[in-house]
Chain A
């Protein structure tokens, strides 16, 4: 998947909200990308744009292109998109209770995709459904397939949602905060399952989360978003080892950690994220950045590299580099 110059704006009564404002990235096959940022940074809207799941008030810029497997998704009709959604690109949402249909049995919800996309008979679909439930680690799948979502716990429900997403062997799986609504002991099981399935099927995966702990152990690459822009993009190891963007660093430092002694004062990021109707000129993080200088308030930084392959960041005064480091 290759995304170029994507802008997604919303018309509202108060003005144009620039939810995603100029994002470009490439995602190779078999790679897991963690998409990290706080609420309102545009990570969910970005993925909904990729899926073509936007409300009518949204407008995608004309110059944007979303290339997927050699086709530009932007040029496709709704009918053609429907053939891709669920078949080639699948999505898992935060709350499995609202993404599953409460009045349909689990089996019927899995079969639906299989019958629609793969022309299976109902009987074949049911057998495949049992296999899928077993593959996502649900014990007693023959019994579970005839249950309704309300009879399942949150963790099992999310496993069912994953089984549905995997049903047609998608090439790209987008998981939007898949464990935010779950307890910690359930969370690790779901994350391990996603990682294992991604490797086994050589899928690409985008894991959206606000939790840096979730992406640290389970992604190959990370993209950090702030106020509608991608501000740092790197391999997971380099992002944690060689943080360049002050926002990424501040985010990492503000997480409470188990090795903090009791009553530690946390480092904080002062202020609030900017208003996306009138974003500040220059770097959008500048008003909250401790390293900001005059230039940061005026000129918008572009994504640059520190020489290491695959590590880019949008900053005039990157951490651990000489001031105004400009390469590439």
Chain B
């Protein structure tokens, strides 16, 4: 194939490469919670990767392991070529400006006794960047960028702001160090619909303005569809499916993804909800995950092999990987 006809554009180096990430928490008496078991993905410059799944699927644990809060049990977290999991605490602190995080509850993630100016400036102080005057300029710039009036907010404290405004302050704090990677853990789940739309738009504006690369975690598939270029679906600590968001929603290949999508209630009374039935029975626990495919106890398509062999992530089309013995497409 000549270079001219090749449609395969050489991919740039990923900003973040997560390889075979495992997070386990010992419970004592030899029991272990298998929170994340062998998750791998890459995020390319300027891209937003969504991580969806229901509570307990390990999506937040994955995000925290990327942040090294705490460090994963095993596996690699390579940010711009550096394996974060291999760094000592001093080296890690110097890398921290490269990856920042915003959390679900905007009010409890801000120190209630500090002024907004101190909260937003803190990352620069910790990293020892700039003079106080330079830092003050940066604080004003970033507050204005997230849609807060710097004059009116600098000297106030978090309790004087609404939930939506507090989330804007968190975003300002995360962006002031100009990170290579922004991790958002359910950033709009605690907000009302009308405020949620404002923050989703803000996150997208910031993505364009600062050319952000993001890992976006949410249980809300409609939010993920709007914000993310590619989406990874997780179930009980393993990844089931990973593809671009349009394909995922149009043609889900994993039975779990299909069931999840079919359960979303739509704001349209003529739409008759037809959720795909999942097998009843005990919800599996992460302490004793089922052998084979972890979804086999609830999967309507499960056969004998599903209870015996773990299905590996396999490409079924360009850029569409699924971990299932009997994919839907």
Q: Which residues of A are in contact with B by a Cβ distance under 8 Å?
A: 38-39, 139, 153, 183-185, 187-189, 191, 210-214, 216-217, 236-237, 240-241, 250-252, 254-258, 260-270, 272
How far is it, in angstroms, between the C-alpha of A268 and the C-alpha of B196 when the chains are bound?
Answer: 9
B226 near A264: Cβ-Cβ < 8 Å = yes
B192 near A139: Cβ-Cβ < 8 Å = no
Encode B181-200 as 1/0 by CB contact (under 8 A) with A: 00000000000111111101
**Complex: chain A residue closest to B256, CB-CB:** A185
Min CB distance, B282 to chain A, in Å? Answer: 9
Which listed residue, A187, A252, A258, touches B221 by the CB 8 Å rule? A258
**Complex: chain B residue closest to A263, CB-CB:** B204
B264 near A184: Cβ-Cβ < 8 Å = yes
Q: List 19 A-B contacts (CB under 8 A).
A: A38-B192, A38-B194, A153-B283, A184-B264, A189-B275, A210-B193, A217-B265, A217-B266, A217-B271, A237-B269, A255-B193, A256-B197, A258-B249, A260-B222, A262-B225, A263-B204, A263-B227, A267-B197, A269-B198
Q: Which residues of A contact B225 (CB under 8 A)?
A: 256, 258, 260, 262
Which listed residue, A187, A189, A256, A269, touches B226 by the CB 8 Å rule? A256
Is residue B313 within 8 Å, beta carbon to beta carbon, of the partner chain? no
Q: Which residues of B contact A251 (CB under 8 A)?
A: 193-194
Q: Which residues of A contact B162 (CB under 8 A)?
A: 272
Given contacts A216-B269, A251-B194, contact A185 B263 (CB under 8 A): yes
Encode B223-267 as 1/0 by CB contact (under 8 A) with A: 101111100000000000000011001000000000111011111
A268 near B269: Cβ-Cβ < 8 Å = no
**Complex: chain B residue closest to A40, CB-CB:** B192
B265 near A263: Cβ-Cβ < 8 Å = no
A-B contact count (CB 8 A): 124
Residue among B200, B261, B263, B269 having the largest count of chain A Cβ atoms under 10 Å: B269
Min CB distance, B162 to chain A, in Å? Answer: 6
**Complex: chain B residue closest to A252, CB-CB:** B267
Min CB distance, B293 to chain A, in Å? Answer: 17
Min CB distance, B278 to chain A, in Å? Answer: 7
The SS class assigned to the A binding surface is loop
A217 near B269: Cβ-Cβ < 8 Å = yes
A254 near B197: Cβ-Cβ < 8 Å = yes
Q: Which residues of B contact A241 (CB under 8 A)?
A: 269
Q: Which residues of A contact B226 (CB under 8 A)?
A: 256, 260, 262-264, 266
With contacts A213-B265, A266-B226 known, what are 18 further pairs, Cβ within 8 A?
A: A185-B278, A188-B275, A212-B193, A216-B267, A217-B266, A217-B269, A237-B269, A250-B194, A255-B267, A256-B222, A256-B223, A257-B222, A258-B222, A262-B226, A262-B227, A268-B194, A269-B194, A272-B162
Q: Which residues of A contact B155 (CB under 8 A)?
A: none
Q: Which residues of B contact A268 (CB under 8 A)?
A: 194, 197-198, 201
How far is it, in angstroms, between the C-alpha of A109 and the C-alpha of B121 when the chains are bound?
Answer: 52
A216 near B201: Cβ-Cβ < 8 Å = no
Q: Which residues of A contact B223 (CB under 8 A)?
A: 256
B54 near A188: Cβ-Cβ < 8 Å = no
Min CB distance, B226 to chain A, in Å? Answer: 5
Q: Which residues of A contact B268 (CB under 8 A)?
A: 216-217, 240
A184 near B219: Cβ-Cβ < 8 Å = yes
Encode B281-293 as 1/0 by CB contact (under 8 A) with A: 1010000000000
Is residue B91 within 8 Å, beta carbon to beta carbon, of the partner chain? no
B164 near A272: Cβ-Cβ < 8 Å = yes
B219 near A255: Cβ-Cβ < 8 Å = no
Q: Which residues of A contact B264 (CB under 8 A)?
A: 184, 213, 258
Q: Which residues of A contact B38 (CB under 8 A)?
A: none
A188 near B273: Cβ-Cβ < 8 Å = yes
**Complex: chain B residue closest to A250, CB-CB:** B194
A257 near B267: Cβ-Cβ < 8 Å = yes
Min CB distance, A247 to chain B, in Å? Answer: 9
How far is it, in angstroms, between the C-alpha of A73 and the C-alpha of B221 when the chains are bound?
Answer: 43
**Complex: chain A residue closest to B268, CB-CB:** A216
Residue among A153, A188, A191, A258 having the largest count of chain B Cβ atoms under 10 Å: A258
Q: Which residues of A contact B281 (CB under 8 A)?
A: 139
Is residue B272 within 8 Å, beta carbon to beta carbon, of the partner chain? yes
Q: Which residues of A contact B201 (CB under 8 A)?
A: 265-266, 268
How far is it, in angstroms, between the C-alpha of A111 and the C-alpha of B286 when the chains are bound?
Answer: 33
Is residue B55 within 8 Å, beta carbon to beta carbon, of the partner chain? yes
**Complex: chain B residue closest to A156, CB-CB:** B283
Is residue B31 within 8 Å, beta carbon to beta carbon, of the partner chain? no
Which listed residue, B55, B164, B194, B246, touches A262 by the CB 8 Å rule? B246
Min CB distance, A210 to chain B, in Å? Answer: 6
B263 near A188: Cβ-Cβ < 8 Å = yes
A210 near B269: Cβ-Cβ < 8 Å = no
Is residue B280 within 8 Å, beta carbon to beta carbon, of the partner chain? yes
Q: Which residues of A contact B271 (CB under 8 A)?
A: 216-217
A217 near B273: Cβ-Cβ < 8 Å = yes
